[in-house]
Chains A and B, each alone.
Chain A
């Protein structure tokens, strides 16, 4: 069993940057992202004997991570703060400023919609795969995706710059 523990620790350590990135996109906050990852790997560990024999342990890990975020968002929800510049924040570069705008927009999008967007457009999952992760129908994924995109578009449109540069840059 010790060997199994070692393998698990090796696996999680190797995947930690990726898990944190996904969690950060979901939570928009590194502190909360680490909370999500911490809980998720605890859940992963319970099922590691099975996961370690799977062809796609990363997919399982991602599922656990997203479900952890979804299921515990109420607990963390009260701590989520929308991004706002502290008074003494130094001037940001356009890239930094656009990231703040996107973070703000994503933070406003409903958690399940946000998870849908992250799974579809960052993790590159299909609609059916997202449905499996979120335990919902493909139709729900499509509608959540559309609503999430609309919300993003609306929020970013209302943001008085500097969201625009990032969007424009992506189109070039």
Chain B
């Protein structure tokens, strides 16, 4: 048997049409965090979650510009150059079957706002399975939408590149240009893409909806509330931190399959989020996920882990603190930087220096919209 024979046989075999994927990206991330006891993340936006269970391609390049839509007017307002992670810029105005779409996520970075609502049903392996999902993503002005990002679908060697498409006109959303964008490999699925503001794109995808899916998607998009100024409320606030730290992202979930709510606030010394970072996660305490304590903070058993590694030539430093039960809340504080020296200006005493700066607001009524003071 020659090398060429084997190559051909394997290539033929690899081309076997795959069944729908059972890979769940969101679950893998959640499990990884739990196993590493980092637990600073609970979910991803539903678009990713759904993509994880979908077979085949999820993104690619739109090589041609969307068709012109002279009937639709460009929105008068400008899209923000960057979003404020502490402000709820957008929110759902209407959702189908609202009682079932209980798991709601709001994730905000400086570049995009993600909203998702998901219905779960009991599944195998003792974990809930998402069956219906609606996901909306708004991009800051100039940000490249996911459906326009280049990607290789079949091989990282670039052997096969596929495109989102076809792109066809959709009825205007709130008077703004809108398009249906096909998803390769999923003929029945489309993304609704529209200008929510001048210079800013929005994308809406849905899975598991019944009835006239496109009409439902248009209704969700049309009812979307954009331009909100409501401050996001947190069950904690921080005082006295380095003034160099700024909020780079936030995430809040409620009615999740695993927990009633969670909040995450990420701070960074650089606006692009690539500098030394501090993350604070607060969620309801869960005795089943308790850590083995190796220290105490504020009289509470806690676990601190510091890791300095040089992996594949890239240095990485992490300083984590887990406090499993303070007034019924679980707290996770994480500092990440290239080295311990790089992290020092962020918090000289590391996570142990951050913890005293944290004030909790256990009662929902007492949550604050000023998490940084």
Contacts and interface: CB of A to CB of B under 8 A. Distances in A.
B175 to A, nearest CB: 30
Nearest to A98: B12
Interface in A25-68: 25, 30-31, 34, 37-39, 41-43, 45-47, 49-50, 53-54, 58, 60
Contact of A3 (B13, B35, B249): B249
A21 interface: yes
A17 B28 contact: no
A121 B12 CA distance: 12
A13 B250 contact: no
A46 B36 contact: yes
A37 B336 CA distance: 27
Given A3-B109, A5-B41, A30-B19, A170 B156 contact: no
Provide the main secondary structure of the chain A interface: helix
B102 to A, nearest CB: 22
Contact of A45 (B2, B28, B48): B28
Interface string B225-268: 00000000000000000000000111100000000000010100
Contacts of B33: 45
Interface stretch (B53-61, B115-123, B190-198, B350-358): B53-61
Contacts, number: 174
B23 A16 contact: yes
A53 B314 contact: yes
Interface stretch (B126-134, B146-154, B283-291): B146-154
Contacts of B3: 121
A34 B20 CA distance: 10
Contacts of B251: 2
Interface residues of A, number: 58
A102 interface: yes
A34 B156 CA distance: 19
Contacts of B19: 30
B279 interface: yes
B10 to A, nearest CB: 4
Interface in A63-79: none
Contact of A99 (B16, B29, B56): B16
Provide the main secondary structure of the chain B interface: mixed
B5 A10 contact: no
Contacts of A13: 25, 48, 51-52, 58-59
B213 interface: no
A37 B312 contact: no
Q: Identify which of A49, A102, A106, A170 gathers the most chain B CB atoms within 10 Å of its CB.
A: A170
Interface string B1-33: 111111111111110101101111111110111
Contacts of B57: 17
**What 9 A-B pairs are tightest by C-beta distance, nearest first?**
A170-B8, A58-B156, A2-B249, A9-B48, A45-B32, A34-B22, A42-B28, A122-B10, A14-B151
27 contacts: A1-B249, A2-B109, A5-B44, A6-B107, A9-B29, A10-B59, A12-B25, A16-B52, A18-B156, A20-B18, A31-B22, A34-B21, A34-B23, A38-B27, A41-B25, A43-B32, A45-B28, A46-B32, A49-B336, A50-B316, A54-B312, A102-B10, A121-B7, A156-B1, A166-B9, A166-B12, A167-B1
Interface of B: 1-14, 16, 18-19, 21-29, 31-33, 35-36, 40-41, 44-45, 48, 51-52, 56-59, 107, 109, 111, 146, 149, 151-157, 185, 248-251, 264, 266, 273, 277, 279, 311-312, 314, 316, 334, 336
Interface of A: 1-3, 5-6, 8-10, 12-18, 20-22, 24-25, 30-31, 34, 37-39, 41-43, 45-47, 49-50, 53-54, 58, 60, 95, 98-99, 102-103, 106, 117-118, 121-122, 124, 149, 152-153, 156, 166-167, 169-171
